[in-house]
Amino acid sequence: MVQHTTLTKQEQRISRLVALGYIEKEIADMMCLSAHTIHTHTKNIRKKTGARNMVDIARNFILSLDNPQHLFKAVLFIAIQLHMVLQVQNFDTRGPKRIKTNVKISRTFKIKN
């Protein structure tokens, strides 16, 4: 189980983002750090907590919370919403469709001499 007293604040933030399902590249972009720096932090988290992979980091973080049920409920709610959005057949995010017509528009230009 993650002991937050053994992790730095940066490592705690990263373990929270891992628990929320972000990969190292996404975490690096969000925190304006390099992916190599985030990889080093996750490697240190794995050393300190005995985690073997990212899933262990996420599990340890969730179990270390005072009330892990709140995080579980939020993740479950987001997963249900995502499922509903993906299941809608006629879901189009591109806006109104344009109607194509066969009318050609010609313009005449006057050349000044």
Per residue in 31-75, pLDDT (tens digit) is 999 999 999 999 999 999 999 888 888 888 888 877 777 767 777
**Within a domain: 96:** no
**Within a domain: 58:** yes
Per residue in 65-100, pLDDT (tens digit) is 777 777 677 777 777 777 776 676 555 556 556 666
Task: Report the pLDDT value the prediction gives residue 107, as an integer from 0 to 100.
Answer: 67
8 Å CB contact between 69 and 39: no
Kindly list the distances between the CA atom of residue 20 and the CA atoms of 2, 26, 27, 37, 90, in Å, as whole numbers in the listed order: 16, 11, 10, 19, 29
CA–CA gap between residue 14 and residue 112 (Å, rounded): 67
**Within a domain: 85:** no
**Within a domain: 26:** yes
CA–CA gap between residue 78 and residue 21 (Å, rounded): 12
**Within a domain: 52:** yes
Task: Report the pLDDT value the prediction gives residue 83, as an integer from 0 to 100.
Answer: 72
18 pLDDT above the threshold of 80: yes
**Within a domain: 83:** no
**Residue-number span of the structural domain to which 20 is assigned:** 9-66
Q: In the numeric block, which tokens belong to residue 69?
A: 């049920």
CATH code of 60's domain: 1.10.10.10
Q: In the numeric block, which tokens belong to residue 43?
A: 């490697």
Q: How many domains does the chain have?
A: 1
Task: Report the pLDDT value the prediction gives residue 2, as an integer from 0 to 100.
Answer: 47
pLDDT band at 13, cuts 50/70/90? very high
**Within a domain: 110:** no
**Within a domain: 41:** yes
